[in-house]
Amino acid sequence: MKLKNDNLMKLFTSDMEPKISIILPIHPETPQAESNLLAYKNLLKDVKKDLELNYPRREWSNAVKDLESLILDRKLWNSSKKALLIFANNENMEICAMEHTVLPKEHVGSTFLIQDLLLPEENIKRPDYLLNISRDRIHVFDIDSLKEVELAGLHTRFSDYYSDFDANSNVNSGSYGGLTATYHGHRTKSEEQQKDQMIYYQYLDKELTNLHQLHGYTFVLAGLPETLDVYLNSHENSPYIGGIMRGSIANLSHADLAERVNDYFAFERVAEVEQVKNDVKTASQKNRVINDLSIIDFALNNRDVKSLVSFNDGSSYSVEHNKLLIKSLINKINCRVLYTPGDNSYPSMNAILY
């Protein structure tokens, strides 16, 4: 994984100490906003105590001022994410919202604790929307809030695109995109429904492609097999498709939809974890993996490392490990962290060599 946040990388490359890390679990329900804030205040209190005991005030006063200013940020404490990572020194501060749960922790010292940034679930490209496809309509949901939304200019019903269309009618006449049809009488229902369906799907593919080209939007497509498969048969290679979710989500409750989405991303995470494990195993069989931290540091300096993989139980934060992870990021070396509680079959730090 390579960070694309320039401000964050600038902070990580700074030599200014002390470096402050606050790792905070967030409860997204509105009534929990006060408990989120209280947890942050308690961690900040510990940070200030550590700073006062170990560093001159001039080296951290600006950092504490920035951290204290967050107390008034009500939007921050009502975040829909599962965790916040807050990094600061006397020059700058950066906040990262996370998709995974964490344990509360603060650290003051010579390095930032960045390992939570490098988990697979934080680096899987999350699509922007869920799009449920049926024969003559779609439902679009924001991937984060899971609320149904409308995208400007996108007709969510075929009857909006083709004004004379009636899903329950068997009259075989109308206009497509402003063109008057030249046929009349009664349609063969199944044939004409198939035709209407394909016309609408062609329209959807064109509009979704435009949204992808203009805004970079990607979509997880969902729907019953008999409709989703028809769509994918013609458009499965379209660039806006960010994933497939089998089964309709149109009538799910918010809780059920959240469960389906969590299951979807959990599956994506498992696939990524297994791929990384296999990479380490394959490289190890070829004697291209080193585990000693001092040798890894030397190899990083020599640019001999292809990728760095850290295995962790999810509750421990090694300062030395995080220093190596930061060095990898600075050197633009792919680095990944896997939380595998209960699985001790891999060394905690693995450098895969070229």
C-alpha separations of 72 from 40, 67, 229 in Å: 12, 10, 49
Q: How many CB atoms sit inside 10 A of residue 204's CB? A: 21
Q: Do domains 1-113 and 268-354 have the same CATH topology?
A: no
d(CA 82, CA 98): 6
Tokens of 305: 């490392």
What pLDDT was estimated at residue 261? Answer: 92
Residue ranges in the chain modelled with pLDDT below 70: 1-4, 28-31, 162-189
What pLDDT was estimated at residue 176? Answer: 45
- DSSP letters, 162-207, are STT--TT--B---EETTEEP---SB--HHHHHHHHHHHHHHHHHHH
Whether residue 291 contacts residue 81, with contact meaning beta carbons closer than 8 Å, is answered with no
Q: State the Cα angle at 176 between 171 and 179, rounded to 5°.
A: 110
Q: Under CATH, which architecture does the 1-113 domain have?
A: 2-Layer Sandwich (3.30)
Burial of 215 (0-12, 13-18, 19+ CB in 10 A): exposed
Whether residue 39 contacts residue 24, with contact meaning beta carbons closer than 8 Å, is answered with yes
Q: State the Cα angle at 296 between 288 and 272, rounded to 5°.
A: 60
Question: 129-251 domain in CATH 3.40.1130?
Answer: no
Helices (H), the chain: 6-13, 33-54, 61-69, 74-77, 120-123, 158-161, 189-215, 225-235, 254-285, 293-301, 319-330
What pLDDT was estimated at residue 166? Answer: 46
- pTM assigned to the model: 0.73
- How do the domains of the chain map onto residue ranges? 1-113, 129-251, 268-354
d(CA 92, CA 6): 13
In sequence order, the 6+-apart residues with CB closer than 8 A to the CB of 276 are 120, 309, 336, 338
Question: 268-354 domain in CATH 3.40.50.2300?
Answer: no
Residue 240 is which amino acid? Y
d(CA 258, CA 222): 14
